[in-house]
Structure 1
Amino acid sequence: MSVKFITAGSEDAGQRVDNFLMRHYRNVPKTLIYRIIRKGEVRVNKGRVKQTTRIQEGDLIRIPPIRTPEKMEVKIPAGQLERIEQAILYEDADLMVINKPSGVAVHGGSGVQFGLIEVMRELRPLAKRMELVHRLDRETSGCILLAKKASILKALHEQIREDKMVKEYLALLSAHWPKGKQKIDLPLLKNTLQSGERMVVVDQSGKPSVSFFKVEQSFKEVDLVNVRLKTGRTHQIRVHAQSQGCPIVGDDKYGDKSINKSFAKLGMKRLALHAQFLTFTHPGKEGDDAVIKIEAPLHHDFEGIIQYLSSADNE
């Protein structure tokens, strides 16, 4: 093992240092990647960097000696491969959108042998540069975007930074949303508890976070809402909903245990949050064909609980 130097190419330009390292060292734990950045062992053009520092073409990246663990062969069950294959909503030579089922992590790690990205790399072995464009919580279902080329990934990340990618979610809240309240502008701070569990709280020292809530359907005791994100912080919708006294049904971190239990008996045994719509400009297309809007159909449990609530209201 020795110090390694990599010169960033045109396809690396605009990528964060942490993501750059994770792409080059896929078998190395993320905690190690963040540790060597934090300790100043990773340098760009001889200077210390933060994990959020973006690389430019021609940058010289110094990487300290890293012991790469032997790659363990993980056998992904055929049923899981087929399940994700059937969940593809859109695909071309540049990118794809998948209707991620709830309970599927976006990547392996932290006790998860494999996630969505590992499944897709096995399903599409020729797409050597396939990467997640954004992330969803493991419990959240719906639209997730993957890029097959580094240039496409870079262009899509730029759309996210410039607020040109629109993400709309459907959430079932465990109480009625405050009348007339639409914009939630509350900073969010990530905390790690002694147990290692990650929690997010509203805190003035946190990162700016903005969500827009709109009631789609009101039932006797709960509301179904559309949520549009302006920022994409960890657990943003979940914590913003909780801040208004309306945690999402099935939320085991920020929700109401008794309400979650009652909905589980009705068949909704998971977080009632679904990434329903995703709108973006396809970097490889021009004109009217470039604007892509994808809708992810609700999975049977979410659709079923809405039907149940609707019929109960009509009785």
Structure 2
Amino acid sequence: MTDSKQNVGDKPKVRFITIDGEDAGQRIDNFLLRTLKGVPKSMIYRLLRKGEIRVNKKRTKPEYKLATDDIIRVAPIRVSQENAPVSTQLNIVSSLEKQILFEDERLIVINKPSGMAVHGGSGLSFGLIEALRALRPDARMLELVHRLDRDTSGCLVVAKKRSALRNLHEQLRNKKVQKFYHALVKGRWSNKLTRVTEGLRKNDLKSGERVVIVDNINGKESETRYKVLQHYADCTLVRAFPVTGRTHQIRVHCQCKGHPIAGDPKYGHEDFDHELKSKGLKRLFLHAASIEFTHPLTEQRIKVEAPLEPSLEKVLKNLTKVSN
């Protein structure tokens, strides 16, 4: 992509953006939302509707898919600078550099810290993706390939090229990506319980909080496979492999089988969580321990592993192991 940009504070002027192979194939509305930083979504649709954004001198619709060498003309608009840039001096931002597990010209795999959302919004000024963009100001693009719950730590993949993003999304759709999680759950998980297939449905409570419930009639088909890693007194460390990717899937599947995950504020068990707090647990014990996929460029299968943070390792050391 080549772009005749304007500097902040300059008088707005016409911009011309030439599309290359990396940006071809995506809808123009999505492309403009990413490219025209600070411009509200409603304004982009209005500009498209009024013909103030054109492709190859012609009016276009929001769903138009860009092609290589398309020239987008954007009428003079003032880009909002409402959001302050993310400071790389913040400890939570600068420490992310040490959490990068793998990086090349196509993608980044990072060990996302617990408590950090993957993106800003809903009262959050920034999330992991905005922080990464601040750390990599010269990166042409950085986009989330998938997501993790805010309280979940572990492997998260970020694409550095549009082609890599498309490739990995296709692998996710075709179930070619394997993600394994480690979870500490209440009680003794049976070695025979290797699959949970309860349907899941999102449900809004009167308080406005959204939770996921088991619903085998109207819910979406879901499957999680489990393996016991270690039994402890009153709890079990399990490995979870989500075959499907529903919201809160592992957490709800554990809960519905009577084994809620330790430290889960939505689906947990109060007495169990209190006991684990005395062992040093201060967060949800759910960690994306590894991810395996085919590299978009080399076509080689790669597996990246994320170590447990020291606080979780310490909790496990404070537990009493029992035979499996």
Per the normalisation by structure 2, the TM-score is 0.78
Matched with 1:73 is 84
Query: CA separation of 1:180/1:121 partners in 2, compared to 1, >3 Å: closer, same or farther?
Result: same
Contact 2:27 2:65 in 1 (8 A): no
Matched with 2:301 is 291
* Aligned 1:234-249 pairs, distance under 5 A: 234-249=247-262
Shift of 1:308: 1.4
1:180 aligns with 2:184: no
Matched with 1:155 is 167
Shift of 1:8: 9.2
**Distance in 1, Cα, partners of 2:230 & 2:118:** 30
Shift of 1:81: 2.3
Matched with 1:131 is 143
Structure 1: segments with no counterpart, 5+ residues: 1-5, 37-44, 50-54, 61-65
**Distance in 2, Cα, partners of 1:21 & 1:57:** 11
Shift of 1:94: 0.8
Higher helix share: 1
Matched with 1:201 is 213
Structure 2: segments with no counterpart, 5+ residues: 1-16, 46-58, 71-76
**Percent identity between the two aligned chains:** 47
* Aligned 1:30-49 pairs, distance under 5 A: none
Contact 2:27 2:66 in 1 (8 A): no
Matched with 2:108 is 96
Radius of gyration: which is bigger?
Answer: 2
1:121 aligns with 2:127: no
Query: CA separation of 1:165/1:91 partners in 2, compared to 1, >3 Å: closer, same or farther?
Result: same
Matching residue's letter, 2:279: L
SS of equivalent residue, structure 2 residue 319: helix
1:97-122 Cα offsets, whole Å, 9 max, x none, are 10111111100111111110011001
* Aligned 1:224-243 pairs, distance under 5 A: 224-243=237-256
1:271 aligns with 2:284: yes
**Distance in 2, Cα, partners of 1:304 & 1:120:** 28
SS of equivalent residue, structure 1 residue 232: coil
**Distance in 2, Cα, partners of 1:257 & 1:28:** 44
Matching residue's letter, 1:303: E
Matching residue's letter, 1:238: R
Contact 2:37 2:79 in 1 (8 A): no
Query: CA separation of 1:158/1:222 partners in 2, compared to 1, >3 Å: closer, same or farther?
Result: same
**Distance in 1, Cα, partners of 2:62 & 2:214:** 30
Matched with 1:301 is 311
Contact 2:27 2:62 in 1 (8 A): no
**Distance in 2, Cα, partners of 1:9 & 1:90:** 27
**Distance in 2, Cα, partners of 1:20 & 1:71:** 21
**Aligned residue pair count:** 289
**Distance in 1, Cα, partners of 2:167 & 2:220:** 24
Matched with 1:217 is 230
**Distance in 1, Cα, partners of 2:209 & 2:39:** 21
Contact 2:106 2:161 in 1 (8 A): yes
Q: Could you say what the CA RMSD is over the residues aligned between the two structures, in angstroms?
A: 3.4
**Distance in 2, Cα, partners of 1:232 & 1:48:** 28
Per the normalisation by structure 1, the TM-score is 0.80
SS of equivalent residue, structure 1 residue 170: strand
Matching residue's letter, 2:180: E
SS of equivalent residue, structure 2 residue 318: helix
Matching residue's letter, 1:300: P
1:145-188 Cα offsets, whole Å, 9 max, x none, are 00001110000000000100000000000122244111111221
Shift of 1:17: 9.3
